[in-house]
Amino acid sequence: MLRLFAEGKDLHAETAKLMFRLPPETDTKKHLYKGVPVRKIAKTINFGLAYGMGAHGLADRAGVDITTAKDLIHTYFNTYKGIARWLPQTAKRALAQGYVVTLAGRRREFPSVPDGLDWNREVRAIAERSAKNHPIQGTNADILKRALALLYAALPANAHLILAVHDEIVVECPEARITEAAQVMQTMMVQACQDFLHVVHIPEPEVLIDLYWRKE
């Protein structure tokens, strides 16, 4: 996965090719597995596992049956063995020490799970999912907040931060400042990532210039 980032590849498309052993030239949006585009399957797994998604969740989101979903998750973990090790190790360590942290050091605490209760298994499962998720989504939040702080200090005159939409930042500025503001946004977004991510290659951020916010 680190190699795919370093090469600037489409993570979801390349994951699909690796999982399904497809030729490099395959259009993963059109290539189907049991009627579902393989890129959609890969994207669902790439994002879903961070939230603790299991076979039932994958089946619902990707539109496949449970048996197929289990097989796909097994294939994914065989493809990315590092992720297969990291997720359970992170959950186990978090519950053992009572907390987990983001790359910025923000801590989420997990009180000990009592033994001998009927709901012990469910409580532990929820805690494990949260423990896996916090370093990933929490670090994303760290990066976004860092980017907002950098932009607040660096944006040109009359350019203003409007809102943050999960992994996007919206800025409003006069037409005369569009080019300058766009360049500053690209620079600061990369800087915010580099402040925390020292191994992963940071791709150039995409800047959409329009009269209103929209999703491409």
Per-residue confidence (pLDDT) for residue 139, from 0 to 100: 95
Per-residue confidence (pLDDT) for residue 67, from 0 to 100: 93
Nearest alpha-carbon partner for 80 in 29, 53, 122, 46: 46
For the chain, which residues score pLDDT lower than 50? none
Domain annotation covers residue 33 = yes
Structure tokens at 172: 């409003």
Per-residue confidence (pLDDT) for residue 103, from 0 to 100: 95
Per-residue confidence (pLDDT) for residue 143, from 0 to 100: 97
- Which structural domain, as residue segments, surrounds residue 57? 1-79
For the stretch 76-91, pLDDT in tens is 999 999 999 999 999 9
Domain annotation covers residue 50 = yes
Per-residue confidence (pLDDT) for residue 118, from 0 to 100: 56
Domain annotation covers residue 175 = no
Domain count of the fold of the chain? 1
For the stretch 106-117, pLDDT in tens is 999 987 766 655
User: Could you tell me the CA-to-CA distances from 105 to 95, 102, 134, 135, 208 in Å, in that order?
Assistant: 17, 5, 11, 9, 32
Domain annotation covers residue 9 = yes
190/177 Cα distance (integer angstroms): 20
192/112 Cα distance (integer angstroms): 34
| Cβ(100)–Cβ(131) below 8 Å | yes
CA 122 from centroid of its chain's CA atoms: 25
Per-residue confidence (pLDDT) for residue 213, from 0 to 100: 84
149/209 Cα distance (integer angstroms): 21
Per-residue confidence (pLDDT) for residue 146, from 0 to 100: 97
Per-residue confidence (pLDDT) for residue 187, from 0 to 100: 97
Domain annotation covers residue 24 = yes
